[in-house]
Structure 1
Amino acid sequence: MFIRKIGIDLGTTNTLVFLPDKGIVINEPTAVAIRRPDNTVLAVGAEAKEMVGRTPDNIVTYKPLKDGVIAEYYITQMMLRYFISKAVGPFNLFKPEVVISIPAGITSTEYRAVYKAAKEAGAKEVYLVREPILAALGAGIPIHSAEGNMVVNIGGGTTEVAVISLGGIVTWSSLRVAGNRFDQSIADYIKKKYALAIGEATAENIKITIGSAISNKNKMEMKIRGRDLISGLPKDLIVNSNEVVEAVNTHLIDIMNATQAVFNVTPPELAADIMSKGIILSGGSAQLRDIDEFFKRSLGVTSYVAEEPIFCVAKGTAIILNHLDVYKRTLLK
Structure 2
Amino acid sequence: MGMFNFAPDIGIDLGTASILVYVKGKGIVLEEPSVVAIDKNTNTVLAVGEEARRMLGRTPGNIVAIRPLKDGVISDYDVTEKMLKYFISKVLGKTGLLSIFKPQIMVCVPSGVTEVEKRAVIDATMEAGARKVFLIEEPIAAAIGSGLDISKPNGNMVVDIGGGTADIAVISLGGVVVSTSIKIAGDKFDEAIVKYMRKKHNLLIGERTAEDIKMNIGTAFPRKDDVAMDVRGRNLVSGLPENVAVSARETLEALEENVNQIADAVHMVLEKTPPELSADISDQGIIMTGGGSLLWGLDQLISKRTGINVSIAENAISCVAMGTGEALNSLHLLKKTGGNSRKK
Q: What TM bracket, shorter-length normalisation?
A: over 0.9
Name the SS for the 1:272 alignment partner: helix
Give the number of aligned pairs.
Answer: 333
The partner residue of 2:261 within 254, 267, 270 is: 254
Name the SS for the 2:57 alignment partner: coil
Partner of 1:41: 45
User: How far did residue 324 of structure 1 move?
Assistant: 3.7
Q: How does 1:237-276 map to 2 (within 5 A)?
A: 237-276=244-283
Task: Tell me if structure 2 keeps the 8 A contact 1:196–1:229.
Answer: yes
Which consecutive unaligned segments of at least 5 residues does structure 1 have? none
Are residue 153 (structure 1) and residue 157 (structure 2) matched? no
Are residue 218 (structure 1) and residue 222 (structure 2) matched? no
Task: Tell me if structure 1 keeps the 8 A contact 2:174–2:333.
Answer: no
- Same amino acid, percent of matched pairs: 49
Q: Deviations over 1:34-67 (max 9, x none)?
A: 0022100000000001001000110011000000
Name the SS for the 2:317 alignment partner: helix
Are residue 200 (structure 1) and residue 207 (structure 2) matched? yes
User: How far did residue 330 of structure 1 move?
Assistant: 4.4
Matched residue type, 1:152: V
Are residue 286 (structure 1) and residue 286 (structure 2) matched? no
Which consecutive unaligned segments of at least 5 residues does structure 2 have? none
Partner of 1:30: 34
User: How far did residue 323 of structure 1 move?
Assistant: 3.6
| Distance (Å, rounded) in 2 between the aligned partners of 1:250 and 1:327 | 36
Partner of 1:135: 142
TM-score by length of structure 2 reads: 0.95
| Distance (Å, rounded) in 1 between the aligned partners of 2:242 and 2:338 | 51
User: How far did residue 257 of structure 1 move?
Assistant: 1.1
Q: How does 1:30-69 map to 2 (within 5 A)?
A: 30-69=34-73
| Distance (Å, rounded) in 2 between the aligned partners of 1:319 and 1:221 | 41
Name the SS for the 2:288 alignment partner: strand
Are residue 175 (structure 1) and residue 182 (structure 2) matched? yes
Are residue 117 (structure 1) and residue 117 (structure 2) matched? no
Task: Tell me if structure 2 keeps the 8 A contact 1:283–1:310.
Answer: yes
Partner of 1:11: 15
Alignment root-mean-square deviation, CA: 1.2
Deviates more, 1:201-210 or 1:320-329: 320-329
Partner of 2:81: 77
Task: Tell me if structure 1 keeps the 8 A contact 2:229–2:245.
Answer: yes
Task: Tell me if structure 2 keeps the 8 A contact 1:154–1:286.
Answer: yes
Task: Tell me if structure 2 keeps the 8 A contact 1:161–1:262.
Answer: yes
Partner of 1:298: 305
User: How far did residue 278 of structure 1 move?
Assistant: 0.7
Task: Tell me if structure 1 keeps the 8 A contact 2:12–2:325.
Answer: no
User: Using a 3 Å threshold, how does the CA distance of structure 1 residues 203 and 151 change in structure 2: closer, same or farther?
Assistant: same
Q: How does 1:95-110 map to 2 (within 5 A)?
A: 95-110=102-117
| Distance (Å, rounded) in 2 between the aligned partners of 1:331 and 1:76 | 24
User: How far did residue 331 of structure 1 move?
Assistant: 5.8
| Distance (Å, rounded) in 1 between the aligned partners of 2:164 and 2:40 | 27
Name the SS for the 1:308 alignment partner: coil
Partner of 2:321: 314
User: How far did residue 76 of structure 1 move?
Assistant: 0.1
